[in-house]
Chains A and B, each alone.
Chain A
């Protein structure tokens, strides 16, 4: 702490502490998923994650040194740069599993869509801070446009999970900033009307299959149809394995060598999107509650900053981060325990993925930045 003070890095411990604990838990979980072959460690996710954490913390330290107002004031520049990166991904991105989401950098692959989440928060904060047009129905088009353009680019990659996360960020920031609830409800209704065309023409076949599989799992679609049944079996494989792995963890966790522990190795992407299955399997219900508690603590801390800070831009930044981290965590956890269809979203701070970890640390750093700096006296007050 003294070291931080010495460098004048403004740390907001109520948010920083759960973040650091979650990062540590993530590395511990990932280290338990490794296998040693002779003298060689394979799949050393924990070491790779540690590199990501170090990069993230370094970037956070740098971010904390810059006042958040400065960041907000350059929001459109960041937005434009990030849009360029998203376009670059579509042209020159690395392709994996039929998706083009990564830019190859020396040492690691960078995912611009992850950064776009934070960029969007900053951009919307910048936009909403200086306007009140969003309080009319027609005035909503601009923040929606700012959100839908990157969403569309990310959907093309395709990365449905990340793209869908933009919606709670936008709605939370608008709602907190005082946009009329009925206007937002009307937009939701209009959006709901677009679900069927989106399902039919906007989604890739594998995305449709995931949704179908989820509906079959919930019993909302007739299992009698042979094709649907077969497809659902295939699509629900990951989810079924995840549910078994979570359940087998029991109260205190499963033995790694026993069947309950070994079943974890059948969960695809257990180090990334399904890391909570690994955590709940290894550390049981207690481990799951610990993670939920830490995430809750972090989100409450962020809300507390948003509540007491005087500067609307600061409030909006906190609320955007709240929606981003909260939404991402909820979707990921709900997906892992079978409450939502499978989407490619990581669990903040815990899942392996260096782009994701860096962006999540930066998000908390942004909150710390806001918390540590008093509001300008001439700033607009609360959104009342």
Chain B
């Protein structure tokens, strides 16, 4: 190749290189310029999270039970208090250096940082309503506090390790904002936020606290929240402090209540410092959640329990809405930490968790031995399977006999009922009758029918109420032994029911359909539609049992407590737990009365020596007096 040819080759090579660069430049700036400008805007503009207000929880009449309250807290970063602030004139990066220390160039754009002279704190002190000296003293207290924390952290460390650890601890404690005043005014917050150069050491922390106006009446239902840092969706690296539901309705409706924080991007012009919002994603505030419970009814239910360990639930028999759900013992919402501490202490002392404690919600999601309140369902199963007829009479000498004919000492009747038929057995709650019928049912191979009827009444199944555990525990199993299956007929053995399950079963007994329970009537203004599942049980069997239960309040086990003033059908139950302690139950329903809807209810008093009637009937009567405004039938 000639010299000129070689030169031409070099020229072509150079020309090709230039062409490649030109095309690349065209692709980046002309065809891809828009994308790059969007990317630039995202990189340059400072992101700020926008808090999403947590939705309120309201009672059935619109009264506020839990709402968010906004307050401001003034804090100081002690390291910044002692340092000199420098700012990048281009990108606004702020760095603090010790007095006399030379500032290094901006780490983002390499520009020389400019020292920002600190303004005097007099305006801030004036807004706080204290003297400058007092403000400085408070800050110095925090400085001493931070230093103390560092020294405590270094205690017991060998000198070499201490020297290494000191820097970390000083950074950690020095830059952690320490509160110097809480609940400061909006003006103080504004002064600090809008004049960051004048107040570089101070920080305003917005406090979004959850105020539970429902107090102890709703403490179990509403649950509680804790503050957590959540990443703002769509804004990488932006975090916001938010309340997160930990239990109760706050947890069950977390998604609706919490909403979604938003964010904005602010662009500051380095030439004049003017800021403009270049991107805005407004927050989606949380939705209000309206309960089916009226605060007044809930207060009646809590008062009816009178502080004894127990639970009481009242539901709308047709719609399934929970009208009251009380658990005792309870606690003031602000006392959560103290109560938890006490319970933990007791656990340490006894070596096991206490069975019924203040933090336990017992009305809707707690399961216990139900005793005789399941007898109406046993009676229906017996009627449907043919194991018993209304006129079937059985002699009760207090003791049920096993397959070998031996009388069982446990689960015996409280007294000798003599010869009783099915209706009488229900009214007088005869254990021997129902165990005998169950025995016959098992011997005739009809136990499945009993189990099927129990399931139709919702035993062992979720009620639908929002606070139930997930997965739902199956607490209604066929027994492993013949005795266990027999005792299921009287609600003993391998049977655990929640008061909500019992109340729903009685609602089904009364209306012929099993309602889906719900604690929430509306979410964000949209009503929750009620659901009902027909029992598909012969109406004659249901009517027979209803008639019998109406007699219970008048002349049966619940007579003499004043319940006959209302058209109530009830059933008492006393679940034996071993020893003298027992669970006292009372369940039933009332038709539409005095302008109130038909209700079903279940009450349980835990670990008492009283029977179901003695423990629960007077409490129910007290509730009904308040519920119906003292207008007895």
Contacts and interface: CB of A to CB of B under 8 A. Distances in A.
Given A257-B270, A303-B10, A326-B14, A285 B26 contact: yes
B21 A330 contact: yes
A100 B166 CA distance: 34
B271 A248 contact: no
Nearest to B278: A259
Interface in B376-405: none
Interface string A40-70: 0011000000000000000000000000000
Interface string A260-283: 101101111100000000001000
B36 interface: yes
Interface in A321-345: 322, 326, 330, 333-334, 337-339
A175 B3 CA distance: 9
A172 B91 CA distance: 44
Nearest to B43: A263
A251 B27 CA distance: 11
A300 B22 contact: no
Contacts of A326: 14, 17
Given A35-B89, A268-B110, A383-B3, 18 more contacts: A35-B270, A42-B114, A244-B39, A247-B28, A247-B32, A250-B29, A251-B33, A256-B271, A260-B36, A262-B40, A289-B22, A295-B18, A300-B11, A303-B10, A303-B11, A326-B17, A334-B21, A339-B21
B37 A339 contact: no
A112 interface: no
B475 interface: no
Contacts of B32: 247
Most chain B beta-carbon contacts within 10 A, residue among A259, A263, A333 = A259
Interface of B: 1-4, 6-7, 10-11, 14-15, 17-18, 20-22, 24-26, 28-30, 32-33, 35-37, 39-41, 43-45, 89-91, 108-112, 114, 267, 269-272, 278
A384 B17 contact: no
B44 to A, nearest CB: 4
Contacts of B30: 250-251, 285
Contact of A249 (B6, B17, B33, B108): B33
A284 interface: yes
Contacts of A263: 39-40, 43-44
A136 to B, nearest CB: 17
Contact of B18 (A35, A245, A280, A292): A292
Contacts of A187: none
A285 B43 contact: no
Contacts of A249: 29, 33
B7 A244 contact: no
Interface of A: 35, 37, 42-43, 172, 175-176, 178, 181, 241, 243-251, 254, 256-260, 262-263, 265-269, 280, 284-285, 288-289, 292, 295-296, 299-300, 303, 306-307, 315, 319, 322, 326, 330, 333-334, 337-339, 382-384
Contacts of A175: 6, 10
Contact of A384 (B2, B10, B21, B91): B2
A154 B278 CA distance: 47
A179 to B, nearest CB: 10
Most chain A beta-carbon contacts within 10 A, residue among B4, B17, B29 = B29
Contacts of A284: 29
A172 B9 CA distance: 11
Given A296-B18, A337-B25, A265 B269 contact: no
Would you list the 7 A-B pairs with minimal beta carbon distance, nearest first? A247-B36, A265-B109, A263-B40, A259-B41, A250-B33, A257-B269, A248-B40
B529 to A, nearest CB: 48
A43 B40 contact: no
Nearest to B272: A257
B267 A259 contact: yes
A174 B312 CA distance: 100
Nearest to B18: A296
A145 B470 CA distance: 78
B31 to A, nearest CB: 10
Contacts of A303: 7, 10-11, 14
A37 B14 contact: no
20 contacts: A43-B111, A178-B3, A243-B28, A244-B39, A244-B40, A246-B28, A248-B33, A250-B36, A259-B45, A263-B44, A265-B91, A265-B270, A289-B25, A296-B18, A299-B14, A315-B3, A337-B28, A339-B20, A383-B6, A384-B3
